Amino acid sequence: MTKLLWNSGKTICMTPRLRAKLQVLRNDLADPTSMWSKSIGRHIPRIPHAESFGDASHDGGGVHCPTLRYWFYVLWDDRIWQGCRLPPSDPDYVHINCLKFIVVLLQLAAAITAFQTFPTGELLDYLTRHRLPAEPIVLCWCDNMTGEQWTNKVTSKSLRGQNLVRIYAEMLRSTHLGLNCQHILSEDNDPADTISRPPSPPLPHLEWCNQIYQKA
């Protein structure tokens, strides 16, 4: 957000209301116990405790997490489906970079849920054996370099990307889970690539799941 404002070159009128809000932010940043503090564990590269693979197409998104033993898909609604097929000059155009990053957000949300619910069975055995720290790290594999940069830098040069980064930052602030992102080639990103591309014409959920199991 700071880079976005600093590089914009725009002049901001310093009204009394804006000055008061800036003073509140300044006081928060000066307080070592404020919500803006960041865990030192997220500054130090560590071996991840779980790996997640994600991908997005113009039709949907798919996630596969072999470590935590889950996978899921999401189908974009008609507005997004149509926006992907508009010319870039159209205000309703949806860029594939945004869809790829949305899948990153979904991977973080799924990992947070998995660690918070701490299920029984094999996952419980895995978590117990590895003696996870209070702030575990999930490595997110993404075949989109822009999504990788947005995730690791928590910033974006595009306005639409920055709006999504705001959501990402709020998610990080609400959890002790850390998320790292690395690039992976599309051809090495199965079964996430398969999951993110629903068949045409659409199939019932159970039939589509059976196809995924067979291909993956």
Q: What is the pLDDT of residues 159-171, one digit of tens each?
A: 889 999 999 999 9
Give the whole-angstrom CA distance, residue 184 versus residue 199: 24
Q: Please give the residue range of the domain that contains residue 161.
A: 40-215
Residue 72 forms part of a structural domain: yes
Place of tokens 């709006």: 163
Query: What is the residue-level pLDDT of the chain in tens, covering all 216 positions?
Result: 667 767 777 777 889 998 998 898 888 777 766 666 666 666 677 888 889 999 999 999 999 998 888 899 999 999 999 999 999 999 999 999 999 999 999 999 999 988 877 655 556 666 667 667 778 889 999 999 999 999 998 899 888 899 999 999 999 888 888 899 999 998 899 889 999 998 888 888 888 888 888 776
User: Does 140 fall in a domain?
Assistant: yes
- Domain presence at residue 14: no
Residue 149 sits in a domain whose CATH number is: 3.30.420.10
Cβ atoms within 10 Å, residue 136: 18
Q: Is residue 34 part of a domain?
A: no
Count of domains forming the chain? 1
Q: How far is CA 20 from the centre of its chain?
A: 33
Would you say residue 119 lies in a domain? Answer: yes
Residues 6+ apart with CB under 8 A from 138: 48, 49, 50, 51, 52, 107, 108, 111, 177, 178, 179, 180
Residue 59 per-residue DSSP state? S
- Tens of pLDDT, residue by residue over 5-42, are 677 777 778 899 989 988 988 887 777 666 666 666 66
Closest CA to 57 of 34, 35, 73, 41: 73
